[in-house]
A and B are shown apart, each in its own frame.
Chain A
Amino acid sequence: MTFILVIEQILNGLQFGIMLFLMAAGLTLIFGVMGLINLAHGSLYMVGAFAAAAVAGLTGSFGLSLIAALAASALAGVIVETVVIRRLYNKDHLDQVLATFALILIFSEGTRWVFGSFPLFLEIPEYLSGPVSLPGGIQYPLYRLALIFAGLLVAAGLMLLIAKTRIGIQIRAGENDREMIAALGVDINKLYTLIFALGAALAGLAGALVGAIQSVQMGMGEPVLILAFVVIVIGGIGSIKGALIGSILVGLTDTLGSVFLPQLFGLFMDTAAATNIGSSLASMAIYILMGVVLIWRPTGLFGARG
């Protein structure tokens, strides 16, 4: 195991984490402000990827496909919020879990109905493809570097939005005291729809960006959704900063765990058994991390309220 390989794996973990952040940010905002637990967030990720693949297929432009992903998932978010989600704010978590579980069923099979049962094609644009040389002789895919950069940019933008703008003030007020902002004359319905659309657009963007290096297929959102939940629970629900740190922690744990655990076991048992046990343990690593964090801090690393 060389030093260069370790650095490269850390970059991989970072990139994975940053993409998780795009998902987790929306989830945590929606939970923080509206108190809503949204299992259908993964479906919006899928909508973004499918919209991007469809538009890329028609136009061949990566830029346009990203815009399409943002637009389609934001639109889907607005529709879902006004038709269904709005009726759930005053219900208990159980009803929210169930209603958004129902939305997953509708979105998944609906997508298959429209796009068919085979995966779609979406690729990296020419100008971002191939590896670049980093200092120290690391060969690293340019596209993954671009993902890290884009993700950090979005994270910075979000933090600015929340810290400096009028909407940000309303969001923070909403997180602290939901009745208060209504009393201040803010149009709650509009604010909620806007936040939901913002979260949806971020999920859709993640879907499109990741779709270019993975496979665009139905059901692609649920594994990511579960990881994003792990992230916000570790980071503390409602906290953007917690989501960012949680994402990176989860990304690094998952990537480094799958690389180093089998090698660690390889030190004192034969390769086949070590690979076997190591990879079994690696696939559970982030859930173990989450368990440990929650036992230590039951409301996550940056969670304010119990």
Chain B
Amino acid sequence: MIQETHFNVFILALLVAIPAWAIAVDEPFTVTLMTRAVIFAIAAVGLNIALGLGGLVSLGHAAFFGIGGYAMGILAFHQQTYAPIFEWPFVIEGTKSMPVIWLVAVVASSLAALVIGLLSLRTSGVYFIMITLAFGQMFFFYCIGWSAYGGEDGLSIYVRNGFPGLNTLDPIQFYAICFSILALVLWIVSALAKSSFGLALNAARQVPHRVETAGLNTKRIQLAAFVISGAITGLAGALFADLNRFVSPAMFSWQLSGEIIVFVVIGGVGRLFGPVVGALVFVALEHILGGLSEFWHIYLGLLLLLIVLFSHGGLIGMVCGRKAVHD
């Protein structure tokens, strides 16, 4: 068995080496694919806080992903059409600056997570799964009919948003931005897991009554985790929108919520790099199997089943053995 920290370093090295190789042999599309994987990884790292650390199975994380996406779409759309978002009581203009968009995406998805979390955390177990799914569906149907921002057609942003000092249209530079954010997010999550907040969250999942008797409010801890989780997934949504230069209600679909869960579980629930490995493997499979057969979803389904039924702790669990984080 390989030590998990060694394996994590190996994955980080891959994330640097593959795009570098792709640039060397002039395969820019591989960089685009890697960017997609890294963005999905950020979304899944976000979900993993709720899912892995908090034990909150959210089938509605696409809501935050979509909100992040629409934050980018709406801001850039107004900048593109030179029409301010608000003119009263004060003027708010659109923007094409990535840092501003990210800030808006994080704030908007945190607020949404706060409201959804406040309501959903009144329930638990299957009820929690279902109510998060229902919130996701509400956003989905709202955006389909939201004609001001394209409804089901979505919004096309013709030029990728800018980041000071970088050419974001260059695939490798945009990849570098996404990779840095992933690294930052992973660092935050690992610090969070070791902090007293992380320990309390872990305890709230495993022995809630003891946490309560220790004078802590489990619901409040879980709510905080849910908000952080939603904020990170929202940031990933903004990046995803910039990758595609396009947003649409498909970002809110419940299948996408399912896929984000898939990333986490393939890699290993509750493991720091689980979501990263899961997203990498998923994007690779999508690309390879999708090229082999029209019916590739069948193979994907079979593979998922095998992982759920026979592996403990996802792919990282298979490589590195079991560890106390999950069980």
Listed in ascending order, the chain A residues whose CB lies under 8 Å from chain B are 31, 37, 84, 87-88, 91, 93-95, 97-99, 101-106, 108-110, 112-113, 226, 229-230, 233, 237, 276, 279-280, 283-284, 287-288, 290-291, 294-295, 298-300, 306
Contacts and interface: CB of A to CB of B under 8 A. Distances in A.
A294 B51 CA distance: 21
B133 A226 contact: yes
Contacts of B265: 94-95, 98
Interface stretch (B26-34, B38-46, B254-262): B254-262
Interface residues of B, number: 42
A1 to B, nearest CB: 23
B129 A93 contact: yes
A123 B324 CA distance: 57
B126 A237 contact: yes
B137 interface: yes
A97 B138 contact: no
Contacts of A106: 297-298, 301-302, 305
Contact of B131 (A102, A112, A291): A291
Contacts of B303: 102
Contact of A290 (B131, B146, B302): B131
Interface of B: 51, 57, 59, 119, 122-127, 129-131, 133-135, 137-138, 141-142, 144-147, 254, 258, 261-262, 265, 269, 295-298, 300-305, 308-309
B130 A288 contact: no
A63 to B, nearest CB: 33
Given A230-B134, A298-B122, A97 B261 contact: yes
Contacts, number: 125
B123 A99 contact: no
10 contacts: A94-B261, A97-B57, A97-B258, A102-B302, A106-B301, A226-B137, A279-B145, A283-B145, A291-B134, A291-B135
A45 B260 CA distance: 26
Nearest to B143: A280
Contact of A294 (B131, B141, B297): B131
- Among the interface residues B51, B130, B135, B142, which one has the most CB atoms of the partner chain A within 10 A? B130
A280 B59 contact: no
Contacts of A102: 300-305, 308
B309 A84 contact: yes
Contact of A306 (B124, B254, B262, B308): B124
A104 B137 CA distance: 18
B127 A94 contact: no
Given A93-B57, A94-B51, A106-B298, A99 B309 contact: yes
Contacts of B308: 88, 91, 95, 98-99, 102
A277 to B, nearest CB: 8
B134 A299 contact: no
